[in-house]
């Protein structure tokens, strides 16, 4: 039976659960192996050993992640190849995806983790939520900006990722967050879609990100 909308599994809830289990010392091998099946399904893993002409949609398999399979609405960046059900990769989910892969890593997951890390380094932006959005979803690109800031700071810190050309992700991100700081001490997202327009939600994520930027 398929679970009702908003009840079925998603990558964000999964990484929070993995984080809690790991912290509590309860993330055993059986749980990790079972969870890895779902996590892998959310990754646009690259194809290897492909012979013959390269399909034009191959660029969509870039090593990044989407939020949940088979949901064109909640996958924020939208469908890149509708006939094949390939969703665009985007920042917040790839942050979560890398962390989830690490928590439930299987023996053959090294290349998957490398692909996700490479996606994050290549696409890192402090001033926006990265990813290739379809036109219809573009107005909501910034909806999870502060969640992305919190998640990307944890992914970069925990996995010791670095940017090329001597760029410093922590400096770029913290500078952008300070610029967005309101006079009353809060942060607020002008986009309402996932409730970051509530200063409690946005501020919690912003403070988490700044803490990890130290």
Residues 184-194: tens digit of each pLDDT: 999 999 999 88
Residue 166 in any domain: the answer is yes
- The two three-digit tokens of residue 210, written as one number: 């700044």
Residue 63 in any domain: the answer is yes
Closest CA to 129 of 118, 140, 119, 116: 140
Query: Residue 170: is its pLDDT beyond 90?
Result: yes
Q: Taking the CB of residue 176, how many other CB atoms lie within 10 A of it?
A: 16
Angle ∠(159,154,42) on CA atoms, nearest 5 = 80
> Average pLDDT, whole number, for the chain?
91
- Provide mean pLDDT across the span 106-123: 92
Position 77 confidence tier, pLDDT thresholds 50, 70, 90? confident
Partners of 86 in beta bridges = 81
* pLDDT recorded at residue 116: 97
Residue 20 in any domain: the answer is yes
Partners of 160 in beta bridges = none
> What residues contact residue 142 under an 8 Å CB cut-off, 6+ apart?
128, 129, 189, 190, 191
Residue 4 in any domain: the answer is no
Structural domains in the chain (count) = 1
Residue 66 in any domain: the answer is yes
Position 1 confidence tier, pLDDT thresholds 50, 70, 90? very low
Angle ∠(150,68,177) on CA atoms, nearest 5 = 15
* pLDDT recorded at residue 105: 87
- Provide mean pLDDT across the span 162-174: 97
* pLDDT recorded at residue 71: 76
Q: What is the pLDDT of residues 22-39, one digit of tens each?
A: 999 999 999 999 999 999
Residue 138 in any domain: the answer is yes
Q: What is the pLDDT of residues 27-76, one digit of tens each?
A: 999 999 999 999 999 999 988 766 667 788 888 999 999 988 777 777 88
d(CA 36, CA 24): 19
d(CA 88, CA 81): 8
- The two three-digit tokens of residue 55, written as one number: 């399909």
CA Rg value for the chain: 17
* pLDDT recorded at residue 51: 60
Q: Could you tell me what percent of the chain has a pLDDT over 70?
A: 94
* pLDDT recorded at residue 53: 75
d(CA 103, CA 100): 5
pTM: 0.90
Residue 5 in any domain: the answer is no
Domain containing 184 equals 11-47+54-213
Residue 2 in any domain: the answer is no
- The two three-digit tokens of residue 54, written as one number: 């390269």
3-state secondary structure 133-152: CCHHHHHHHHHHHHHHHHHH
């Amino acid at each position: 039976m398929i679970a009702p909308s908003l009840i079925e599994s998603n990558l964000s809830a999964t990484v929070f659960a993995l984080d809690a289990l790991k912290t509590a010392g309860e993330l055993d091998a059986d749980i990790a192996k079972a969870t890895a099946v779902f996590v892998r399904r959310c990754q646009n893993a690259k194809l290897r050993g492909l012979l013959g002409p390269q399909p034009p949609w191959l660029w969509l398999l870039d090593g990044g992640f989407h939020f949940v399979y088979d949901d064109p609405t909640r996958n924020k960046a939208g469908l890149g190849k509708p006939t094949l059900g390939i969703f665009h990769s985007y920042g917040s989910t790839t942050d979560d995806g890398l962390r989830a892969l690490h928590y439930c890593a299987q023996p053959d997951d090294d290349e998957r983790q490398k692909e996700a890390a490479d996606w994050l380094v290549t696409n890192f932006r402090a001033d926006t939520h990265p990813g290739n959005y379809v036109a219809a979803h573009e107005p909501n690109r910034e909806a999870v900006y502060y969640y992305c800031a919190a998640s990307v700071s944890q992914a970069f810190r925990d996995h010791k990722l670095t940017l090329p050309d001597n760029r410093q992700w922590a400096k770029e991100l913290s500078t952008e967050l300070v610029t967005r700081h309101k006079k009353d001490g809060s942060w607020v997202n002008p986009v309402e879609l996932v409730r970051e327009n509530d200063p409690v939600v946005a501020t919690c994520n912003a403070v988490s990100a700044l803490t990890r930027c130290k």
